[in-house]
Structures are given as structure tokens and as C-alpha cells.
Chains A and B, each alone.
Chain A
Amino acid sequence: QKEVEQNSGPLSVPEGAIASLNCTYSDRGSQSFFWYRQYSGKSPELIMSIYSNGDKEDGRFTAQLNKASQYVSLLIRDSQPSDSATYLCATKRDDKIIFGKGTRLHILP
């Protein structure tokens, strides 16, 4: 079983709509959870971190964590063409930080 799983996409969302990205993880010992955005040919950029169950909002982004179901999600409201990128989910387990393979998001103008 893969430690961090994401749907590879592409996920196509109309401009102005809500994009919903999901991630599941296998190790219940995972402690911290992160979402990164990676544009093609660029390095990943941290956009959200979440540590406890519930929702965390930052501007147009909301991260949701459910430890009982072992999933993390990222909602992007009012999607913009500049949101088109690959979104990477990551978890911290002990001293290691493990990444999913990413979901490609395409915002349709």
C-alpha cells in the first residue's frame, strides 16, 4: 500500500469554480500534513500545512484533515488560471516527510 495516495488527474475545473483535491495516507502515525504547489519545471512551494482534525483556511485555500478516515483535502475557491499546476500532498511520519505523486489541476478559462 502506498503511503500517500493522490489521484494523478488531470482534474479540470472551470475558472471561478471550487477545485477539490484529495489525498489519503496509510500510516496512522503521520503527524503533520502539507500541500505544495508545483508549476511545470519549478520547485514545489508550500501553500498549506495542517496538524489537527478539521479545517484550516488561508485566503482562497482551505485544508481539511480527518485522521480517523486518514484523508487530507485541499479546496481552492474561485479558481484562477494561475492555479493550474500539480498539487503535492505530503505527510510527516517520524522524521521522514513522504510525498504523494501529485494531482495535476487544470483551470479552464
Chain B
Amino acid sequence: EAQVTQNPRYLITVTGKKLTVTCSQNMNHEYMSWYRQDPGLGLRQIYYSMNVEVTDKGDVPEGYKVSRKEKRNFPLILESPSPNQTSLYFCASSFLGAYGYTFGSGTRLTVV
């Protein structure tokens, strides 16, 4: 089954404790992206990657890091999480970024 797999689904952590949210896709998509979704603000792009070793900032990259060492994986790293990063996070992938996304199931992150 073609899918984007995110883990974990739920995460509660404390301020300053580094965490990684994993994302993997099995569709051989070049384009992968991370979004956060907040009430009243909608989906906002954090980072995206056009291909292996190619990443770029979206609209809200502050406080986040990503890497793309393999085509299938695109982890999101929060090196020092803060409460304002409490949000619902989605990973998504697309063929060349031109044909619409397949989204992962989401990760609900709470930073206390």
C-alpha cells in the first residue's frame, strides 16, 4: 500500500528536550515536506525537500531542522522544543511536487 508513515502519533515532551519525528514514504517520491497545523492558522510549511540532500525553508522554519539522506526518509528534528511548537504536524510527499500530496497520519506534539 502506498503510504507516508509518521511516528510517533502522539508525543508529550518537556521544554528543551531534543526530539525527532520520523517520516518515511514508499512511493519513490522526490518531493517531501513538513507542515504544522494550528487552529485559525491552517497548514503552514516548515521545510521541504526536492530530492536527496536538497532541503529548503518553508514559511515557518525557525526552531526546526530536517535532513534528507535517503529518498524515502525525511525526519523533522526539534533540537530545543518550546511550548509554541505544540501543534499537529504532518509529513507529506509528492511526485515532483506537482501532482498533489499524500499525507502521513499526523503527529500531535505537546511541549510542556
Interface residues of A (CB under 8 A from B): 31-32, 34, 36, 42-46, 49, 88, 92, 95-102
Task: List 7 tightest A-B contacts by C-beta distance, closest first.
Answer: A101-B42, A43-B103, A46-B100, A99-B43, A49-B100, A34-B100, A43-B106
Contact, CB under 8 Å: B43 / A88:
yes
Is B41's beta carbon under 8 Å from chain A? yes
With A44-B43, A101-B41 given, is the CB distance from A95 to B97 under 8 Å?
A: yes
Contact, CB under 8 Å: A46 / B42:
no
Contact, CB under 8 Å: A96 / B103:
no
Instruction: Please name all residues of chain A whose beta carbon is closer than 8 Å to the beta carbon of B56 when the two chains form the complex.
Output: 95
CB closest chain-A residue, reference B43: A99
Contact, CB under 8 Å: A96 / B42:
no
In the complex, given contacts A44-B103, A97-B94, A98-B45, what are 18 additional A-B residue pairs having Cβ atoms less than 8 angstroms apart?
A: A31-B98, A34-B101, A36-B101, A44-B90, A44-B101, A46-B100, A46-B101, A49-B99, A88-B42, A95-B48, A96-B45, A96-B48, A96-B59, A99-B43, A99-B44, A101-B40, A101-B41, A102-B42
For the complex, what is the distance from the CA of A22 to the CA of B8, rounded to whole Å? 35
Contact, CB under 8 Å: B58 / A46:
no
Could you list some 17 contacts between A and B, CB below 8 A?
A32-B98, A32-B99, A34-B100, A34-B101, A43-B103, A43-B105, A43-B106, A44-B43, A92-B98, A95-B50, A96-B45, A96-B58, A97-B33, A97-B94, A98-B45, A101-B40, A101-B41
